[in-house]
Amino acid sequence: MTVTSEQRFGEFVVVRGHEGLEHVAELVLDRPKAMNAVSTDMARSIAAACDALAADRDVRVAVLTSSHERAFCVGADLKERNSFTDAELVRQRPTARAAYTGVLELPMPTVAAVHGFALGGGFELALSCDLIVADPTAVVGLPEVSVGVIPGGGGTQLLPRRVGAARAAELIFSARRVPAAEARELGLVDELVAEGRDRAEALALAGRIAANSPVGLRAAKRALRLGHGLDLRAGLEVEDSAWRSVAFSGDRAEGVAAFNEKRKANWPGE
């Protein structure tokens, strides 16, 4: 992505680059009047932005952020949902699902920067990322059963992968909201930073990650995701396949050469 470039996807989603942060793209949830509640239009825009990011070989890391000062994302737009007929809800489901799978299936490492409310679908967007950086104002949770549904953006599958089946069951069945300190203790978020610093620290982390081989990063993510939950022998086969995809790459040759020549690698990205 071009440094400092910005592209808007519909009314509610922005993707931008930053000077001094090469190969890092920021995907901004930008519906502040609704605390980033995910409407049909916003879901469509998230999916479109993720499609564009996935196709951009210059992007090595994506950071998911919010333009609202008091919320990351409060989940699905229940005001919109309240107007749906059953048939309309059925038709809307693939659009909503595409937003969450769009983030989940991004091929490069992803970091969520969370402050304020990250509830329901909002927390599922964060869970779809590889790492979650939060500040002390963060309040996370999957309260869907309290309104008669279940987490439908990957929550029932992603949460137990983070915290185990029993803990995930307690959090989902109780529908409770978890404050930042407890969320860090339980592993619901990965880093807890100073108030107001979640975005800056997530971008800084992304910059450190982006200094590494883009081929290696994508292959490592693929091995981590595909190998999770497999038995050890099957997981090692997944790892071997990912290793073979990078072992004869230009990045591998450049990385070894740079190490031996004691210089910074100039990754060809292939």
144 among known catalytic residues: yes
Catalytic residue among 17, 25, 26, 124: 124
Q: Is 124 a catalytic residue?
A: yes
For the stretch 142-180, what's the b/e string if a residue is b when 16 or more beta carbons lie within 10 angstroms of its beta carbon?
bbbeeeeeebbbbbbebbbeebeeeebeebbeeeebbeb
CB atoms within 10 A of CB 51: 15
Is residue 200 part of the annotated active site? The answer reads no
Tokens of 19: 């000077």
Which of 26, 144, 201, 254 is the catalytic position? 144
Helix, strand, coil % over all residues of the chain, rounded to 5: 50, 20, 30
Q: Is 34 a catalytic residue?
A: no
HEC string of 133-158? EECCCCEEECCHHHHCCCCCCCHHHH
Q: Which of 43, 49, 71, 76 is catalytic?
A: 76
Task: Please list, residue by residue across 227-241, b when 16 or more beta carbons sit within 10 angstroms of its beta carbon and e when fewer do.
Answer: beeeeeeebeebbee
* 6-9, strands of its sheet edge to edge: 6-9, 13-18, 21-29, 61-66, 110-114, 131-134, 191-192
Indicate if the alpha-carbon torsion angle 87, 90, 93, 94 is positive or negative.
Answer: negative
Q: Which residues pair with 29 in a beta bridge?
A: 13, 66
Selected catalytic residue, list 75, 102, 121, 216:
121
Catalytic residues: 76, 121, 124, 144
